[in-house]
Structure 1
Amino acid sequence: MIIEPTIPALRRRHPAGRHGLSGGVVLRVALAVAFVCLAALPVLAGTLALRPEIAARGDVVTLGDLVEGAPEALAGTPVFRAPALGESGTIQAARILEAAARHGLRAVETRGLTQVAVRRAGRRVDVAEVEAAVKAALELRHQVDARTLGVLFDGAAPPVPAVADDAALVAEDVTFDPRTRRFTARIALRGTEGRMLARVAGQAIEMAEVQVLQRGFNRGDTLQAGDVAVERRPRASVPGDALVDGNEVAGRSARRTLAAGSILRNGDLQRPEIVARGEIVTIVYEVPGLVLTLRGRANEAGAKGDVVSVTNPQSKRTLQATVVAPGKVSVQAATPGPVAQRP
């Protein structure tokens, strides 16, 4: 429908001077007024126009989603099925115009569009979210400590369709065998009883935090704090002497060759050796009121505080000495006990 604005006739007015307005001037003024009126009419009349792209909020696309300015009475009318959650699609402009015409909207501007993009908000569900739902249900219904629990699903990761951005998953109809630690569950959306997204089965494994080497070490190499990381491993595979406190690692050296990825054990590390085997060391011999020093050879390596054997090269006598500093050991003389008196 073409809207033709009605323009009132301009009355000819003559100024006080000799000449009035010419016909050309009047015509130009009339055309200018007509142009302004025509430009304002779509705004005044509420133009119907296609939107270039929309975000569907449900399972269907409505006239109000597609047509800007659609009357409130028709805006909620469903006309197309929306894409699946998290998916996108397009609708041909011709099909939208046909659908609008069927509901009485015939003067819809296409704005030069040949199609309209439709996107439906949603997100993919990852395995961690399914695990969290299962662990929460096991803790609630079967008194299992979720903090130390790991979930191992049978086969590949459970296929769960996309869900709305604000959706929350729950595990329902959960069964659990404490002996075998096997479980089954139905994954659903919170607040939608009966709408199952997936059925899962697997085993709930008790986990433990351990210190794991991030690279390999040769015997004698010194470890730093960043050389280990805390990981969760099945408790059944963790050795009883596994190192728990990572603060005990920095500054210690490997007692033997250690492979990357291995769990650190208490016997794997030692204090750094500050006396090497065969090294010439200073032997400090202390007795009450007297301190003697002499040179000797260490027969074994040792860290600070270790007791090692050293040999006096002159007397060939072997002594047991305590490592006190790099290249230095100490020998403490035995304190004599009280002398027994004759009766």
Structure 2
Amino acid sequence: MTDRLRRKIWMFWIVLLFCSFGKVAMGDTIRLHDQIGVTGNTVTLGEVAELSGRDAIMFADVVVGAFGETQSKLDVQMDDLRLLLREKGINLARIDIKGYDRCVVHRMKPTREEESQNEPVFANTDVQVDVKVDTTLRGLLIRKLASEIKTELDDVRVVFQKRDLNFLATSTMGKKYDIDFSSRNRIGRVSMIVREITGNKITSKQHVAAMVSKRVVGLAIKSMIRGGETVRSDQVERKEVWSMRRIDEPIASMMLIEGQVAGRTLVKDTLIYPDDLRKPRLIKRGEIISVYSIVSNVVVQLTARANEDGAMDDVITLRNIRTNQEIYATVVGRGEATVYQAKTDVGVEQAKQAQVEAVDREARS
């Protein structure tokens, strides 16, 4: 063998080695989620992980866990997942497994709406179709998501992953699809399973992921408000934004912020939600306050030390300065409260009687 031929053979193996590394580096991925919720008895790979690439998606239906009859939570460990995939004959050299070390799977009870949504979605089709309606799979999924979050089509924004765009351009005319969700999320990051149904058989299945937001209108901060500061009407303005928040609606009425205090620092242009505000603190922990109680048409005033902070109408615990007795009282003003109930170990009714007797003793002294 000549030196020239030997060099060519070496070059061939070097090129082959680089191609192999390139293929692994650019291979499919399985990214394990942190936690999910499912309604079934079994858990599949497509539910616990985000699958990227044709080879990875082929194994979406591999069962990676199952609930016992009374079990409500199970863990899918990264190491166990690797071992299971090897046992299934999956070549892990071509698939990159990453993400969290484990996925906590919660067993959820399906709602009535979810149970009724198990019926296949008929894309349409023997009736006349409005030319303005998007008859692609993309349009079908957007309409489904708008229905799920109970908003109009114009008020929902859906951004699909680039890898799914060709699939989503498929026409739904004359076809029937079943759309299922991999988790309980309907806003934010949403994972869906799209099945095409022909007759009584599933002829194809595709996992689709999207970022979903909805249009909301609420009061937004015009300039930063620090925690503890009173929010004024001139510091806010009505604003329209695209939100991915799953719970609560932003505050939209000026009346609902009147007299309220920022519970945390609120930065410019952010919407105000109910948990961002709190009532102003009228009593501070450790403060000596006046406590009033009406007994037999007689108003008795006591002096007590507050065990905790309190806002208007809050029920807090106090300690009578003279008797050292712990009592409950309702905040009615700055540094003032009314007796609510004595704290004793003899039952509610007896506790109330004990409180009356204590107040009578204060009145006679």
Instruction: Indicate the TM-score class for this superposition, using the shorter chain for normalisation.
Output: 0.3 to 0.5
The structure with the largest helix share of the pair is 2
TM-score by length of 2: 0.36
- Report which of the two structures shows the higher radius of gyration computed on alpha carbons: 1
Q: Could you tell me the TM-score, scaled by structure 1's length?
A: 0.38
